[in-house]
Amino acid sequence: MKTSVKKTAVIVGCSQMGARLAMSLSNKGYKVVIMDKDYHAFERIDRHFLGTEFLGDGQDLTALRSLGVDNIKLFVAATGNDADNLTLSRKAEKLYHLSRVYARLSGSRSREQLKRCATDHAPAV
């Protein structure tokens, strides 16, 4: 019998958007890891969430390796800081060689910065 390996989605930032996205992806069959440095941010997550809540600084993406995170198919930087999200998305792209990397951007200035530095496979949401 062949077992399937779940695709992993990593979300840094348990913002309101990050929490909703974590639930949605989990319901679609992804193995979801959501990371935030504020323990209270995880209160935004629905109590039926089946993924992993990871308390840590999103700037330290290598900390995810301590969880044994592998088979990452999707990475989302969803903190409340556009500059951090841009930095995290670029770092994740290089560290994990991902093709699906997204950054939550709230300001039009941040979107312009992303357009200037983005590669073909680092779209913003």
Domain range for 64 is 8-116
Residue 124 inside a domain? The answer is no
What confidence tens digit (pLDDT) does each residue in 100-119 have?
888 887 865 545 555 444 44
Residue 125 inside a domain? The answer is no
Mean pLDDT score across all residues of the chain: 79
Residue 29 corresponds to which tokens in the numbers above?
Answer: 């069959």
Q: How confident is the model at residue 33 (pLDDT cuts 50, 70, 90)?
A: very high
Checking DSSP bridges between strand 52-55 and strand 101-103, what pairing results, if any?
A: unpaired
Residue 37: CATH number of its domain: 3.40.50.720
- pLDDT reading at 122 higher than 70: no
Q: For position 123, what pLDDT does the model report?
A: 42
Q: pTM for the whole thing?
A: 0.79
Residue 3 inside a domain? The answer is no
Average pLDDT over residues 86-108: 80
- pLDDT reading at 11 higher than 90: yes
Domain total for the chain? Answer: 1
Residue 104 inside a domain? The answer is yes
Residue 83 inside a domain? The answer is yes
For the beta sheet containing 72-77, the strands, ordered from the edge strand earlier in sequence to the opposite edge, are 52-55, 31-36, 8-12, 72-77, 101-103
Residue 101 inside a domain? The answer is yes
Residue 14 inside a domain? The answer is yes
- pLDDT reading at 65 higher than 90: no
Residues of the chain with pLDDT > 70, as a percent, come to 78
